[in-house]
């Protein structure tokens, strides 16, 4: 496999930027002006937008403040206004994305294969984005189409008459084809404030565990630190001393406000501690957390590691002072903060026009009623890890696969993408009404339901795999499956008292289990599912949820009684 002509062309553009960094292309400043000792450059970055052009609903549309209170935040029109103001405050400003700008998107973007979101990113002047895992939801070829333009091969150009692609590069220093050839550009160079700034992109090396295998067939994802250090050394040799990383990997937190640093030990910190001192700032993503931390590099010098939650609720802003002569960042004079994208100001008119266009074109489908609920169905988990909405989804998946002999259904918590709230949306459908667009936002991946046969021993092993990471990932289960766990118990012995339909699970017995194709392939590290046999296909997960709402008017939040927590 070889690089495409368009990728080579993009590399040529990058070469022009590198020449500019050596001063071989005029910087455009008057020769008579006495240069300052330093120049100011502002980096404005967001992460995990996921096509949320409209303000997100429920907890997805709020930011938690240091005192525990919350404020409404997000919405592309407000994000654009904040970006415009932030750029106006500092002449030399660069807008970046730390990945997952597209994928798992609400219906007004997803119906058009996220072309409206790319148009939005173009409009606010994004200069570079690292690929996240969701940029691969529809495969590498679709990512290339989003990059370079052209109509969708199956659906054509449905949003507008033609689609011209992203005006910024998708970066991935650790993404290669299986023959070792780079599949994406490793870096870009921004010539801002009279100095070159190297922007390195690296996505999580564990990306194959969080996407379906067919989406990344032929691709490999290398170690983040090794790829960043290799690229940073190249940039340094080219005379590009100011370097920042867009890292689509993150840590979890113990709470706190946007500028607190209450991270739990995680992959982002480990990477930040080991990446070469040549890198001055690390923007992170993927974990949808808010934090503003200082992490020492291998030489003991502090540098910023920051993340801005998700869905356009925060902008991570880092102000750099760069020495004009050495081109090095003066780190002790750098400042960083997470800016809340409040909704109190005037939304950007151009962005609002784009959103209105997408809403109008998607409305006939998005506003169709598919069911009703009697209360909020939320993703917020009980102490056991059960989500009210996750339980409803699992029940829907079980009901949709009964014809396969399914006895239980299990779904991954990361596949539950948004709350379903009782209050009417601004579209005015009415309290308690669930629309197609709202259901789509909850289940946007179009995963296929599959029913497999597992032994009781396999089933227990799957549930034990919930503790294979630093933070447990609690699967959402149908009402027919109940069990207990003790987090303090030894690995492999945390789960007990398994029952199906009230009967104890026999380790040697066989059971029909329904999961989506992502889990069936071992997604999220639940490799025990791959031992399932006698696979039978089912409906798309979204169709299963819609059918459940249609058959059960007034769905109520179920009690959290499926999982019992023991000391």
Q: What is the CATH number of the domain that holds 232?
A: 3.60.21.10
> Could you tell me how many residues make up the chain?
567
Are residues 512 and 428 located together in one domain of the fold? yes
Are residues 329 and 441 located together in one domain of the fold? no
Helix (H, G, I), strand (E, B) or coil at 413: helix
Instruction: Render pLDDT for 45-87 as a digit per residue (tens, 0 to 9).
Output: 999 999 999 998 888 899 999 999 999 999 999 999 999 999 9
Are residues 375 and 284 located together in one domain of the fold? no
Assess if residue 488 is contained within a domain.
yes
Which residue has tokens 């994928």? 103
How many other CB atoms are there within 10 angstroms of residue 484's CB atom? 15
pLDDT value at residue 58 = 81
Number of domains in the chain: 2
Round to whole Å and give the CA distance between 202 and 214: 21
Are residues 309 and 386 located together in one domain of the fold? no
Query: Considering only CA atoms, which of 357, 463, 339, 323 is closest in space to residue 46?
Result: 339
Are residues 434 and 305 located together in one domain of the fold? no
Query: Considering only CA atoms, which of 263, 256, 217, 250 is closest in space to residue 100?
Result: 250
Are residues 139 and 199 located together in one domain of the fold? yes
Are residues 372 and 454 located together in one domain of the fold? yes
Assess if residue 87 is contained within a domain.
yes
DSSP state, 522? T
pLDDT value at residue 54 = 95
Helix (H, G, I), strand (E, B) or coil at 548: helix
Are residues 288 and 380 located together in one domain of the fold? no
Assess if residue 79 is contained within a domain.
yes
| Under 8 Å between Cβ of 523 and 412 | yes
Whole domain around residue 218: which residue ranges?
Answer: 36-340
Token digits for 242?
Answer: 């100011």
Token digits for 233?
Answer: 């050394």
Assess if residue 559 is contained within a domain.
yes
pLDDT value at residue 427 = 83
pLDDT value at residue 329 = 98
Residues of the chain with confidence (pLDDT) below 50:
1-32
Assess if residue 67 is contained within a domain.
yes
pLDDT value at residue 12 = 40
Assess if residue 389 is contained within a domain.
yes
Are residues 461 and 528 located together in one domain of the fold? yes
Are residues 282 and 419 located together in one domain of the fold? no
Assess if residue 66 is contained within a domain.
yes
Round to whole Å and give the CA distance between 296 and 75: 34
pLDDT value at residue 31 = 42
Assess if residue 417 is contained within a domain.
yes
Token digits for 284?
Answer: 């992170």
Are residues 372 and 335 located together in one domain of the fold? no
226: Cα within 13 Å, side-chain hemisphere:
6
| Under 8 Å between Cβ of 243 and 228 | no
CA torsion through residues 65, 247, 334, 302, sign: positive
Are residues 326 and 382 located together in one domain of the fold? no
Instruction: Render pLDDT for 217-247 as a digit per residue (tens, 0 to 9).
Output: 999 999 999 999 999 999 999 999 999 999 9
């Amino acid at each position: 496999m070889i690089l495409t002509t368009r990728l080579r062309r993009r590399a040529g553009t990058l070469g022009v930027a590198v020449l500019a960094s050596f001063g071989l292309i005029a910087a455009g400043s008057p020769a008579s002006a006495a240069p300052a000792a330093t120049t100011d450059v502002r980096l404005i970055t967001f992460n995990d937008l996921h096509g949320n052009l409209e303000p997100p609903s429920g907890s997805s549309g709020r930011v938690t403040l240091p005192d525990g209170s919350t404020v409404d935040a997000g919405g592309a029109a407000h994000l654009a206004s904040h970006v415009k103001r932030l750029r106006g405050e500092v002449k030399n400003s660069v807008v970046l994305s730390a990945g997952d700008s597209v994928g798992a998107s609400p219906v007004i973007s997803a119906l058009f294969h996220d072309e409206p979101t790319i148009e939005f990113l173009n409009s606010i002047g994004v200069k570079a984005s690292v690929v996240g895992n969701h940029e691969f939801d529809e495969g590498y070829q679709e990512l290339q189409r989003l990059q370079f333009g052209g109509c969708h091969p199956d659906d054509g150009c449905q949003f507008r008459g033609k689609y011209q692609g992203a005006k910024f590069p998708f970066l991935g220093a650790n993404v290669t084809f299986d023959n070792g050839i780079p599949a994406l550009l490793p870096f870009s160079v921004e010539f801002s404030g009279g100095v070159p700034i190297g922007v390195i992109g690296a996505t999580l090396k564990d990306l194959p565990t969080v996407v379906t295998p067919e989406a990344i067939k032929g691709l490999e994802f290398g170690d983040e630190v090794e790829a960043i250090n290799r690229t940073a050394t190249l940039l340094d040799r080219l005379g590009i001393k100011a370097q920042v990383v867009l890292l689509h990997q993150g840590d979890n937190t113990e709470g706190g406000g946007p500028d607190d640093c209450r991270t739990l030990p995680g992959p982002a910190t480990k990477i930040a501690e080991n990446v070469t001192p040549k890198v001055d700032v690390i923007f992170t993503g993927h974990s949808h957390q808010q934090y503003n931390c200082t992490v020492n590099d291998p030489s003991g010098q502090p540098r910023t590691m920051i993340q801005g939650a998700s869905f356009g609720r925060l902008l991570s802003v880092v102000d750099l002072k760069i020495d004009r002569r050495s081109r090095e960042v003066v780190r002790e004079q750098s400042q960083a903060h997470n800016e809340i994208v409040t909704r109190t100001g005037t939304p950007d008119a151009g962005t609002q026009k784009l959103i209105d266009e997408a809403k109008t074109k998607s409305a006939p489908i998005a506003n169709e009623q598919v069911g009703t609920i009697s209360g909020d169905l939320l993703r917020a988990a009980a102490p056991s890890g059960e989500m009210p909405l996750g339980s409803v989804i699992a029940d829907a998946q079980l009901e949709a696969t009964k014809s396969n002999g399914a006895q239980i259904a299990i779904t991954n918590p990361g596949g539950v993408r948004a709350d379903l709230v009782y209050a009417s949306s601004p579209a005015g459908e009415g309290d308690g009404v669930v629309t197609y667009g709202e259901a789509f936002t909850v289940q946007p991946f179009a995963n296929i339901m599959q029913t497999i046969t597992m032994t009781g021993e396999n089933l227990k092993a799957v549930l034990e795999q919930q503790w294979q990471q630093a933070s447990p990932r609690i699967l959402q289960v149908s009402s027919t499956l109940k069990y207990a766990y003790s987090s303090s118990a030894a690995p492999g012995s945390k789960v007990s008292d398994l029952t199906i339909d009230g009967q104890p699970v026999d380790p040697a017995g066989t059971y029909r289990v329904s999961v989506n194709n992502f889990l069936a392939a071992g997604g999220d590290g639940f490799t025990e599912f791959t031992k399932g046999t006698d696979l039978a296909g089912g409906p798309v997960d979204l169709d299963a949820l819609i059918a459940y709402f249609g058959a059960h008017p007034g769905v109520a939040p179920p009690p959290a009684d499926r999982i019992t927590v023991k000391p």
